[in-house]
A and B are shown apart, each in its own frame.
Chain A
Amino acid sequence: MRRKAHFSLSKILRWFCGTWLLLQLAGCATYSQGFAPIEQQLAAQDPATAMQVLEKQRHPRGDLLLYLLNKAMLQRMQHDYAASNETFEQAKQLIQTYAAISVTEQTAAFVFNDTTRTYTGTPLEQVMLHVYAALNYLELEEPQAARVEALQVEVRLRQLMQDSPQSALSVDPFARYLSGMIFEDLGEYSDAMIAYRKAYEAYQAHAELYALEIPEYLQRDLLRMAHKVGLTNEYQQLQSRFAITLEEEPDPETGQGEIVLLLHNGLAPIKREHSVAAVDPGSGRLIRVSLPYYQSRPELITAARLSTQTKETKTQQVEAIDQIANQTLEAYLPAITARAVARAVLKYNMAREAGKQNDMAGLLVNIVGFVSEQADTRSWLTLPANIQIARLKLQPGSYNLTLELLDILGQVQYTTNLTDVKVKAGQRRYISYHYVPRYWVSK
């Protein structure tokens, strides 16, 4: 009798240890909740402090990629492009290392929750990594290195195409468009033509998923390049389709340069957790299923006006990250749901089996199972909601530019000056501006 009491005591102790371990494993808050203090600093247009906040946070090994991606983005917001690219390189290596499916992590994900898996990024995030690395190189005026990124994005997109050839999300319009611009900068016109053409096709494919306008800049680039490489038929077809004539385009030999401003507008949608909890009326056991969903940020800034003393132009959206992220999750949701339901069944059965041996143990297993159920709300949160582009052709020289951010009514919400921007003859000068408004809805 005594012996039996000891035995169950040790068992209970073990269960307590197990519970404690699991709680440690599961953590209490979801990943996206930890982003609020960083977002606060970004809304104050203070990426340096945001960086300090990020560095102070705890980064579990499985979330290392997100730490690196956020760090790289904050570094580029502080115009430290070289350091940003070093961080992106680490992120690339991490993705390569963890590309293989882990047996232990899959098992843990099946028993506890999806956050036990090492995060390797969604296709969109993996593509954007190369896009931002390329932009960093362009801003450092190293087009040759940006070209390497353009080729790497090509490899990545080919992989995506192999994995799901039918999905429109396997093509990324802006990655292609930027590649085209890089090839054109280096005088590789036929490669540029191919990239522009693929960008155009990608915009068309994405237009079937969500509302989008094909940027007029791309239409002009396509026309100009078709003309340049001597594709007369294609040139005529495109001309009648776009209803644009190129006559007004200044001769490239006049020695004009061009400013390409990229507005990284707002913040990408944030993943939240949606849980359904219920009590099984028969056994009184708790059941919970948690799934992630995207919460889009309100669109406070819809466009921007870039002007010099004599000229002005408006931005055009080139990448709708918010919509693409939403579409990506929607495509993955059936698999995530199936896993969550299978997990709920497993946890229920585990609690029942434990309960057969010992009531207390059954209750504990049930509680652990209930608490450990958590949706995977991890995503690259410092990505913008969308990327917009504005281009100005200017004579060589130094310019002071004014950038006015406009709301949906066309009212100026925020004005900033970009001073001493140097334009060289026959060259494109790339500049980025990140703007994060204060979103009141964010928790």
Chain B
Amino acid sequence: MLLLHRDSLLATFLVVLLGLSACGTQVERVGVEETHDLSGAWNDTDSRLVSEEMINDMLARPWRQEYTSRHQQQPAVIVGTVRNLSHEHINVNTFVNDIERAMINSGKVTFVASSQEREEIRDERMDQDLHAREDTRKPMGQELGADFMLKGTINTIIDMEGTTQLRYYQVDLNLISLRDNRIVWVGQKKIKKLVKNSKLRF
């Protein structure tokens, strides 16, 4: 009888153990600046680092000095399309937003709203024309035309052997003068990641 009792005790213990191991979602807060590489895919850290570094490089180059000394004002820049030519569904919008933020916050260039944003603002002005008070009404035809457009591509090359992958990202950005199609700056940033997937799991 005693042995039977011991068996059932053991069984209960096992059930409790199994139950315990199955439950409990863990949440841990992490800093936005911290780097966490989970799958090896393009992530927020890549987007932030690349945009910051590239824009710093862009603003340090001679084209800006040249423009400012010739026109006695800051150049106005607009972000065009950044094409995703990589093998991942990269959210290009967050990357473009990172670029815009880096540029505006530098205070070294004037920044013009993108074509989609402009549409909305024009609608608002049109609305003001009808409904707003005379002294607060904003006239049409006063928009600041951009001097330069920033365009670019995100590319990847993947090399692999067994469960190991070498992911190579290359981001190219070109700054093109809208007046005469001159390319005044070419920026390039490369990231290399070695992703090793385990062959075995529990």
Bound Cα distance from A394 to B1, whole angstroms: 86
How many residues on chain B are close to A (CB under 8 Å)? 25
Q: Beyond A100-B200, A102-B201, is A158–B160 a contact (Cβ under 8 Å)? A: yes
Which residues of chain B come closer than 8 Å to A98, judged between CB atoms?
201
CB <8 Å contact, A100 and B197:
yes
User: Is residue A154 within 8 Å, beta carbon to beta carbon, of the partner chain?
Assistant: yes
CB <8 Å contact, B3 and A162:
no
Interface string of A109-149 (1 = CB under 8 A from B): 00000000000000000000000000000000000110110
User: Is residue A10 within 8 Å, beta carbon to beta carbon, of the partner chain?
Assistant: yes
CB <8 Å contact, A148 and B88:
yes
Which residues of chain B come closer than 8 Å to A6, judged between CB atoms?
1, 3-4
CB <8 Å contact, B84 and A155:
no
Which residues of chain A come closer than 8 Å to B201, judged between CB atoms?
98, 100-103
Bound Cα distance from A102 to B7, whole angstroms: 30
Partner of B7, one of A14, A101, A145, A158: A14
CB <8 Å contact, A100 and B84:
no
Which residues of chain A come closer than 8 Å to B161, judged between CB atoms?
162
CB <8 Å contact, B86 and A151:
yes
Q: Beyond A9-B4, A148-B88, A155-B87, is A162–B197 a contact (Cβ under 8 Å)? A: no
How many residues on chain A are close to B (CB under 8 Å)? 28
User: Is residue B142 within 8 Å, beta carbon to beta carbon, of the partner chain?
Assistant: no
CB <8 Å contact, B160 and A7:
no
Which residues of chain B come closer than 8 Å to A151, judged between CB atoms?
86-87, 156
Bound Cα distance from A401 to B87, whole angstroms: 35
Partner of A96, one of B7, B39, B158, B200: B39
Bound Cα distance from A103 to B85, whole angstroms: 38
| Nearest neighbor of A11 in chain B, beta-carbon distance | B7
Which residues of chain A come closer than 8 Å to B202, judged between CB atoms?
102-104
Which residues of chain B come closer than 8 Å to A93, judged between CB atoms?
39
CB <8 Å contact, B158 and A101:
no
Bound Cα distance from A14 to B202, whole angstroms: 26
Q: Beyond A10-B7, A14-B7, is A103–B160 a contact (Cβ under 8 Å)? A: no
Q: Which of B133-178 contact A (CB under 8 A)?
A: 156, 158, 160-163
CB <8 Å contact, A144 and B158:
no
User: Is residue A400 within 8 Å, beta carbon to beta carbon, of the partner chain?
Assistant: no
User: Is residue A239 within 8 Å, beta carbon to beta carbon, of the partner chain?
Assistant: no
Interface string of B86-114 (1 = CB under 8 A from A): 11110000000000000000000000000
Q: Which of B1-33 contact A (CB under 8 A)?
A: 1, 3-4, 7, 11
Bound Cα distance from A99 to B11, whole angstroms: 33
10 additional A-B residue pairs with CB within 8 Å, beyond A100-B200, A151-B86: A7-B3, A10-B7, A13-B7, A100-B201, A104-B202, A144-B83, A148-B88, A152-B87, A155-B160, A162-B160
23 contacts across the A-B interface (CB closer than 8 A)? A6-B3, A7-B3, A9-B4, A10-B3, A10-B4, A10-B7, A13-B4, A14-B7, A89-B89, A93-B39, A98-B201, A99-B163, A100-B201, A145-B89, A147-B85, A148-B84, A148-B88, A148-B89, A151-B86, A152-B88, A155-B87, A158-B160, A162-B160
- Residues of A in contact with B (beta carbons under 8 Å apart): 6-7, 9-10, 13-14, 17, 89, 93, 96, 98-104, 144-145, 147-148, 151-152, 154-155, 158-159, 162
Which 9 pairs across A and B sit closest by C-beta, in order of nearness? A151-B87, A100-B201, A10-B4, A100-B198, A102-B201, A148-B89, A10-B7, A152-B87, A100-B200
